[in-house]
Amino acid sequence: MMKMTLNLLFNILFGFKKTFDIVLENLALRQQLATMKRSAKRPQLRASDRLFWIILSRFWSNWRQVLIVVKPETVVRWHKKGFKLFWKFKSRRKGPGRPPISPEIRDLILKMANANPLWGAPRIHGELLKLGIKISERTVSNLMPSRLTTPPSQTWRTFLKNHMKNMISIDFFIVPTATFRILFVLVILSHSRRQVVSFKATSNPTTMWTAHQIIEAFPWDTAPKYLLRDRDSIYGAYFRQRVKNMGIKEIITAARSPWQNPFVERLIGSIRKDCLDHVIVLNESHLSRILSSYFDYYHHDRTHYGLGKDTPFERPVQPRPAKGAKVIELPRVGGLHHRYEWKKAA
């Protein structure tokens, strides 16, 4: 008896499902037919059409078999897009949110933070409360500029700038000759006006020779306060003692850090680019004559970006004369460079 009852119930449900599938299939076909009748070339789908197929795909498993107007993947894409729009609508802001901070308060917080580097967010927040400004401490912390817990020491660039007038830098560079000998050139540069205080070429530099060049460059009481150099072994114990006796404090750069001695490194680069890369040096005396000619051009004619486009020896601006004057060029460094001046009409 139980088996007969179950078979009867199964047949009823199967017949009902079969009838339900036929009804949905007819409904789907009629909907597509109505869509096709709207246009002869291409069916124009509306939002209601998309919604119909999305709902149908949720309740009928055989919807793909009767779909003709679009691909099944298109219906799936519609459903995903609808899902995103639904949750975007659910997650929308329902109120005005936290009131914005006025620009005046922002500027005041930055002003307090810059004027008091030892203050943190609690101190600044307390001052704001005393001024009658109601704001959370977290907001003050977010508006403060990021900085270290303690005031940072001055940077290397700031140190060089602060001691510009009392500092010199020295360095060696090598020059090959026509006979494949190597000459060493020591340059002593004053930072204040980028003036080359002294230069000397030799084929055999020693610690005593290097110290002697410093003594000759600064006789009597003209020695600077600081001397910036690298860690070359040429600056031995004898050199360090003589410099100390002159009252000069040595500032030694870190290993493999030429950027810490930027002025003299830039000078050496200019010497090579503007002069030595274009000539063949014969011997020591020939090199001295070439460098003397170049440094004369360097001091009196060559403008420098770091000096506001002026020369180390302050080249005056030549006023433009009356009509008829023309600009003439004066060769420098054997014609490698030129200086330009006004020449009055004859």
Per-residue pLDDT tens over the stretch 66-120: 666 667 777 777 777 777 777 777 777 666 666 788 888 888 888 888 878 778 8
d(CA 31, CA 297): 92
Amino acid, single-letter form, for residue 183: L
Q: 122: which residues sit within 8 A by CB, 6+ positions away?
A: 137
Domain contains 115: yes
Better pLDDT: 246 or 66: 246
Domain contains 150: no
Q: Which of 51-55, 80-84, 167-171 has the highest mean pLDDT?
A: 167-171
Assign residue 179 the CATH number of its domain: 3.30.420.10
The whole-angstrom distance between residue 56's C-alpha and the CA centroid of its chain comes to: 57
Task: Give percent helix, percent strand, percent coil of the chain, each to the nearest 5.
Answer: 50, 15, 35
Instruction: Report whether pLDDT(345) > 90.
Output: no
Looking at the structure, tell me whether residues 163 and 302 fall in a common domain: yes
Looking at the structure, tell me whether residues 67 and 177 fall in a common domain: no
Q: Which helix (H) or strand (E) holds 94?
A: none
Domain that holds residue 11: 2-88
d(CA 185, CA 15): 107
Amino acid, single-letter form, for residue 329: E
Domain contains 76: yes
Looking at the structure, tell me whether residues 262 and 127 fall in a common domain: no
Number of domains into which the chain is organized: 3
Locate the DSSP E strands across 207-332: 226-229, 249-252, 326-332
Per-residue pLDDT tens over the stretch 295-330: 999 999 999 888 888 999 999 988 878 787 888 888
d(CA 302, CA 308): 12
Domain contains 123: yes
Looking at the structure, tell me whether residues 255 and 299 fall in a common domain: yes
